[in-house]
Chains A and B, each alone.
Chain A
Amino acid sequence: MACDAQSLSAVGLALSRPPGVAYAAPMDPEPGDRTLMLRYRDGDNAAFETLYRRHNDALYRYLLRLCQHRHSAEDIFQDVWGKIINARGSYRPTAKFATFLYRVAHNCFIDHVRRNKRHANSVPLDTDCHADSSEQPEILTERALARRRLDSALKSLPDEQRDVFLLREEAGLSLEEIAAVTGSSRETTKSRLRYAVNKLRAAIDEPTRAS
């Protein structure tokens, strides 16, 4: 009888437990980039605005750091989005949209460099725009110096290494995606990224070593 009671209670517990149903995933409130681009291709302008707001700042920073020239970056920025708009008819969602976007941006930058030979007359970018006043002045000074050193080291990097580093930092692309964007192999990309990071790290650590 006790056994029966135990078995019944076990059955009751089993029944009271939620059944092991594989619930359908909740509906994604934010559609993916590819979906948005396909919607825009079909005439949904709001989808493009969402897509644009999602990527515009990162792309702008990528171009700004890559060109080191604000006006050129703005020109290329417009050019890139213009090409994305024009190519919406032939857009195929075979790859990540970010890869597509940054590939276009990379090509536009290459075209720009070829046209202008060298992107000279760089306008120095403000590197101290996010100083936190609540920190100690020494720390603030040290961090400001580190930013300046990083900025100058970034400028002194070869274009390929800077491109790879920025694609990593701004676009958040993986090595394979960066390789696809730059048209190089994964190993080359990895090597360029390693060189870039090592140089930037050395630039940041420079005063520490000196002291």
Chain B
Amino acid sequence: MSNERESLDFSGDSDERVSATYRELGDERAPEHLNQRILQRAASTGQRRYLPAAPWMRPVAWAAVIGLSLAIVLEIARLPTPETTAIEVPAPLNRSATTEARQAEPESDKFADELAPMGRDSEPTPGARADVVDESAAPAAALPATVSGDRQQDSAPKPIERMAEPATPPDRNAAIGEREAAEFRPQDLDALRQAEDFARIRSGDNEETDSISSRAARSSAAMLDAAAPGCDQEARASRSTWLDCIAELEQAGLTDLARNERETLLEVYPEIDTQ
């Protein structure tokens, strides 16, 4: 403190004189009624935090515990046992992709040829081929079936083969294809792309997969970075706008960013209780 005073380049006497004269201005003290009021408030607020439980709280708490326990037990009792659980293979995500694949036999042949080195039979059955097509059309849907049953063995899951049966005549397929082509949406294109990626994954093209996944990760990270700039200067102009901005960040799921903003806010406005 005294070093700082010297470093201010004041002449020490004058600075001391100003301080001494200021001290003589008056030694006002905080009024006692204010002191009492603030201390009472502090005491009441402090006690409120540690209030003992009200008499009615205990039975209510017990009732809540028992009720919740019963609800959990009943819910567990209603759950089906593993023996009775039917494994349901989810339907393909995109029927149009399946239809297109059915119409474009050479395409599916190509996929089948690509899958052949992985240990498939040299003569894939029509069902197996359609199975591949179904997988390529809906990787997310086909994945459980792939995990649950090994296609190289004869114990292939029946539902998949059933789905792959050419139950509809070609002219009907064509009609469906035309109708669904008219209803073609961008999501379908995405699904097709996913299917292609999945086929590549299955064919062992790991490097390409890695590049795809890393590209996706990079792009999503870039999107997150672009979408998470935090609160700008305008939002930080006042407490309320800043708090609003933090609330928006929290609602958007950017908790880390919101926490950083909250810490910065607390540094600027330490009196705010943001808890």
Taking beta carbons and an 8 Å cutoff, which residues of A are in contact with B? 40, 43-45, 48-49, 52, 56-57, 59-61, 64-65, 74, 77-78, 80-92, 100, 103-104, 107-108, 125-127, 129-130, 143, 146-147, 150-151, 154, 169, 172, 174-175, 183, 190, 193-194, 197, 200-201, 204-205
Chain A proximity of B208: nearest CB distance (Å): 50
Specify which of B30, B38, B46 is in contact with A57 (CB 8 Å cutoff): B30
Q: Check A197 against B17 for contact (C-beta < 8 Å).
A: no
CB of B37 within 8 A of chain A?
Answer: yes
CB pair A78 B28 closer than 8 Å? no
| Contacting pair B15 A127 (CB below 8 A) | no
- Distance of B197 from chain A, by nearest CB (Å): 48
Residues of B within 8 A of A82 (CB): 38, 41
Q: List 10 A-B contacts (CB under 8 A).
A: A43-B47, A56-B38, A57-B30, A77-B30, A80-B271, A88-B46, A90-B272, A150-B21, A151-B25, A169-B19
Q: Which of B97-153 contact A (CB under 8 A)?
A: none
Contacts of B24 in A (CB 8 A): 130, 143, 147
**How many residue pairs between the two chains, A and B, have CB atoms under 8 Å in the bound complex?**
136
Contact with A along B11-51 (1 / 0, CB 8 A): 00011011101111111111100110111011101110110
B274 CB-CB contact with A under 8 Å: yes
Interface, chain B (partner A; CB < 8 A): 1, 4, 8-10, 14-15, 17-19, 21-31, 34-35, 37-39, 41-43, 45-47, 49-50, 266, 268-275
Q: Is the pair A60, B21 in contact by a Cβ cutoff of 8 Å?
A: no
Query: Are B45 and A194 in contact, CB atoms less than 8 angstroms apart?
Result: no
Q: Are A150 and B25 in contact (CB under 8 A)?
A: yes
Pair B34/A57 contact, Cβ less than 8 Å: no
How far is the CB of B195 from the nearest CB of chain A, in Å? 52
Residue contact A60 to B271, C-beta cutoff 8 Å: no
- The answer to whether B30 touches A60, judged by C-beta atoms less than 8 angstroms apart, is yes
**What secondary structure prevails in chain B residues at the interface with A?**
helix
B263 nearest CB neighbor, chain A only: A92
Distance, CA A107 to CA B270, complexed state (A): 9
Whole-angstrom CA separation of A51 from B71 in the bound complex: 50
> A146 to B21, alpha carbons, bound, how many Å?
7
Contact status B1-A174, CB under 8 Å: yes
Assuming A86-B45, A107-B269, A204-B21, is B275 touching A74 (CB within 8 A)? no
Q: Is the CB of A74 within 8 A of B271?
A: no
B273 close to A197 (CB less than 8 A): no
Picked from B27, B31, B270, B274, the residue with its CB within 8 Å of the CB of A130 is: B27
Bound Cα distance from A151 to B14, whole angstroms: 16
- Minimal Cβ-Cβ distance residue in B for A190: B8
On whether the beta carbons of B17 and A104 are closer than 8 Å, the reply is no
Contact A200 B29 (CB under 8 A): no
CA A56 to CA B270, docked complex, whole Å: 18
B258 to chain A, nearest CB (A): 15
**Chain B proximity of A112: nearest CB distance (Å):** 13
Is B42 a contact partner of A45 (Cβ separation < 8 A)?
Answer: yes
- Let me know if A89 and B275 touch, CB within 8 A: yes
Contact B31 A90 (CB under 8 A): no
Q: Tell whether, in the assembled complex, residue A74 and residue B272 are in contact, meaning their CB atoms are under 8 Å apart.
A: no
Contact A204 B46 (CB under 8 A): no
A60 touches B29 (CB 8 A): yes
- A103 to B31: give the CA distance in the assembly, Å: 22
How far apart are the CA atoms of A139 and B18 in the complex, in Å? 17
Q: Which residues of A lie under 8 Å from residue B38 when comparing CB positions?
A: 52, 56, 78, 81-82, 85
How many Å lie between the Cα of A84 and that of B42 in the bound state?
Answer: 9
Q: Is the CB of A194 within 8 A of B270?
A: no
Min CB distance B124 to A, Å, is: 66
Kindly report which residue of chain B lies nearest to residue A104, judged by CB atoms: B271
Contacts of B1 in A (CB 8 A): 172, 174
* Complex CA–CA separation, A87 to B271 (angstroms): 6
In the complex, what distance in Å separates the CA atom of A61 from the CA atom of B272?
A: 24
Using known A-B contacts A52-B42, A100-B270, determine if residue A204 contacts B275 with beta carbons closer than 8 Å. Answer: no
Taking a contact as CB atoms under 8 Å apart, the answer to whether B27 and A129 are in contact is yes
Q: CB-CB < 8 A to A77: which residues of B?
A: 30, 34
Q: Is B271's CB under 8 angstroms from A84's CB? A: yes
